[in-house]
Structure 1
Amino acid sequence: MPIKIPDTLPAFETLAHEGVRVMTETVAIRQDIRPLQIGLLNLMPNKIKTEVQMARLVGASPLQVELSLIRIGGHKAKNTSEDHLLAFYETWEEVRHRKFDGFIITGAPIETLPYEEVTYWKEMQQILDWTTTNVHSTMNVCWGAMAAVYHFHGVPKYQLKEKAFGVYRHQNLKPSSIYLNGFSDDFAVPVSRWTEVRRTDIEKVPALQILMESSEMGICLVQETAGNRLYMFNHVEYDSTSLADEYFRDVNAGVPIKMPHNYFPHNDPALQPQNRWRSHAHLLFGNWINEIYQTTPYDLEEIGTKA
């Protein structure tokens, strides 16, 4: 089954061109099934790029998925037009009465700020608490993962001396995990962050289990079975050119930045980078969607009512 998103959302044409099956409201209502309700809390400045990246992975599932775009109500986006937000997004306050089978919380370019200094931290805490009663399973990404593991378990983040930036080899530490079904023992993952969480702190929390790790970049993916949460500290959702876009942005702005590790062919920024993580990104999200489908209640209103 394809993903259901608004026909006029910019991601619609991009995904259709890539071969991702998308469907209109008219087609969706003819199918006598309940689509999975997935919410995307998009905290990234360029929301349209992130919509495409996440919808691409969610839409690759054989199940029918309805994606709802959500934003922080009191925060003004700098790189996305107000018209786009009004046309396609709802604020969390507007959807807080709803139940979702799955919920994705993205990263945000505010890693170096203490959590309590983030302008929308109080609302973020409310949203994280709300996911425990209104969401069956949550996928937290990059800063969203750091914020969630700090909120629920007090796991701190640490400032890095330089930006962790590039494509790094990671190891599959739990091949039997439902979320790593089909994964290789060793695989590439894009990394782009100024902070990190550390193994020693994760290991202090019995509820947390490390699934992916890099010998160079540390923790990548953590599972919390009791809370039905995944914490992805890197960027499997990135496009082939995402790291290049960040690199050239900083170079053009005169910001000191190293060339992304193991990314440009022959370390030549003039050459087109190759995507070596796409298949595992699809596997991870496909496994997550499948697990949601297998375990979520048929009646959405039952979410959060049972242990």
Structure 2
Amino acid sequence: MPLILPHGLPAAETLRREGAVLPPAAPEGVRPLRVLLLNLMPQKAVTELDFARMLCGCSEWVELIPVKIRGQRYKTTPQAHMDRYYTDIDAFEADGADGLIVTGAPVEHLPFEQVRYWPQLCRIMDWAQRRVRSTLYVCWGAQAALYHRYGIAKHGLPAKMFGIFAQNVLAPEEPLFDGIGSPFAMPNSRHTEVRAAEFPADAGLRLVAASSESGAGVAVADGGRAIFDVGHLEYAPLTLETEWRRDQAKGLPIEMPRHYYHADSPEAGVDYSWREAALRFYANWITHYVAPGRR
């Protein structure tokens, strides 16, 4: 189905070149699903495009609404971009939303309580439990939610978990994995981890996908009202390569992303092995958790 984006959002031009249908509004009598995007990543436009691309393949009308934390200032994105395309998430406090995506953020080196917007984020997560049909927490966003809700700590890794890792489906009946084989590929790019052994046994939190290399992958709670994805299924094909070259240029300790290039050779090009699973995962999220029982 078509995807509705804020008028003029730069991602729209790229998506149209890729063949996406992006009407300005839904037809009369059709209420699109409102999916909020709380974008905590530094390169806002890149992240907008990544998630919009995932939602283009859904079977429902979806309106993707970028939202921000009131009063925040941004170093890597022009304030004019934020003012034009983003809405304060407070505007949805009363009415709620059908779906919410909370992205990763480059703050995993900090204790959660030292993140400058931690109190506001905690309030948003509490609100989402009450007023959003399904929230998808991604990478650091997933770690933050698991810590806030269950006290699950993040642990530093001796080396960055960086590459494409096979995820084994632990719950074949889970609707998120309809049409997805086991194992499926998922990008990871993080310096910390959450450990499945520390998941509480009696809190209704289920680990539904994991990797022998990268550990816990996807968890589900509250019958799908909260979903935690510690990876980056939304990543575009060249994102890990861009991160690798960036860190090399900064002189940071970084290895070539694992299982990423054909024949493990940059000259052979990127193996976009996670594409089909990623599109199906997001389509399943919308179909099975965001759309049912719509208001």
Given that residues 132 and 227 in structure 1 are in contact (C-alpha distance below 8 angstroms), is that contact kept between their aligned partners in structure 2?
no
After superposition, the CA RMSD in angstroms is 1.5
Q: Which runs of 4+ in 1 moved over 4 A?
A: none
SS at match of 1:57: helix
Number of residue-to-residue matches in the alignment: 295
Offset at residue 205 of structure 1 (A): 4.4
Given that residues 59 and 287 in structure 2 are in contact (C-alpha distance below 8 angstroms), is that contact kept between their aligned partners in structure 1?
no
Distance 1:2 1:234 in 2: 26
Tell me the residue number matched to 1:132: 129
* Structure 2: unaligned runs, 5 residues or longer: none
Tell me the residue number matched to 1:141: 138
Tell me the residue number matched to 1:15: 15
* Structure 1: unaligned runs, 5 residues or longer: 299-307
Distance 1:276 1:249 in 2: 22
Distance 2:202 2:269 in 1: 42
The letter of the residue matching 2:114 is: E
Distance 1:169 1:276 in 2: 10
Percent identity over paired residues = 37
Given that residues 160 and 191 in structure 2 are in contact (C-alpha distance below 8 angstroms), is that contact kept between their aligned partners in structure 1?
yes
1:231 paired with 2:228, answer yes
Distance 1:71 1:209, change over 3 A: same
Given that residues 101 and 296 in structure 1 are in contact (C-alpha distance below 8 angstroms), is that contact kept between their aligned partners in structure 2?
no
Distance 2:266 2:178 in 1: 34
Distance 1:261 1:293, change over 3 A: closer
Offset at residue 265 of structure 1 (A): 2.8
Offset at residue 221 of structure 1 (A): 0.2
Tell me the residue number matched to 1:83: 80
Given that residues 133 and 290 in structure 2 are in contact (C-alpha distance below 8 angstroms), is that contact kept between their aligned partners in structure 1?
no
1:241 paired with 2:249, answer no
SS at match of 2:142: helix
The letter of the residue matching 1:11 is: A
In the superposition, the TM-score normalised over structure 2's length comes to 0.96
Distance 1:223 1:267 in 2: 33
SS at match of 1:290: helix
Q: Please, which of 253, 262, 281 is the counterpart of residue 265 of structure 1? A: 262
Tell me the residue number matched to 2:5: 5
Offset at residue 291 of structure 1 (A): 1.2
In the superposition, the TM-score normalised over structure 1's length comes to 0.92
Please give the per-residue CA displacement for 1:281-300, whole angstroms capped at 9, x wherever unaligned: 111110110013552333xx
Distance 1:162 1:293 in 2: 36
Given that residues 6 and 65 in structure 2 are in contact (C-alpha distance below 8 angstroms), is that contact kept between their aligned partners in structure 1?
no
After TM superposition, the structure 1 stretch with the greater mean CA deviation from structure 2, 87-96 or 191-200, is 87-96
Equivalent residues in 2 for 1:115-194, closer than 5 Å? 115-194=112-191
Q: Please, which of 250, 255, 258 is the counterpart of residue 253 of structure 1? A: 250
Distance 1:265 1:233 in 2: 24
Given that residues 70 and 88 in structure 2 are in contact (C-alpha distance below 8 angstroms), is that contact kept between their aligned partners in structure 1?
yes
The letter of the residue matching 2:99 is: G
Tell me the residue number matched to 2:197: 200
Offset at residue 83 of structure 1 (A): 1.0
Please give the per-residue CA displacement for 1:237-269, whole angstroms capped at 9, x wherever unaligned: 000001001000001111111111111233333
The letter of the residue matching 2:61 is: Q
Given that residues 5 and 22 in structure 1 are in contact (C-alpha distance below 8 angstroms), is that contact kept between their aligned partners in structure 2?
yes
Distance 2:202 2:40 in 1: 27
Please give the per-residue CA displacement for 1:142-190, whole angstroms capped at 9, x wherever unaligned: 0100101111111111111110001111111111111111110212111
Given that residues 43 and 72 in structure 1 are in contact (C-alpha distance below 8 angstroms), is that contact kept between their aligned partners in structure 2?
no
SS at match of 1:23: coil
Please give the per-residue CA displacement for 1:215-238, whole angstroms capped at 9, x wherever unaligned: 011000001035711000001000
Distance 1:179 1:189 in 2: 14
Q: Please, which of 25, 47, 58 is the counterpart of residue 44 of structure 2? A: 47
Q: Please, which of 111, 114, 117 is the counterpart of residue 114 of structure 1? A: 111
Distance 1:71 1:294 in 2: 23
Given that residues 3 and 66 in structure 1 are in contact (C-alpha distance below 8 angstroms), is that contact kept between their aligned partners in structure 2?
yes
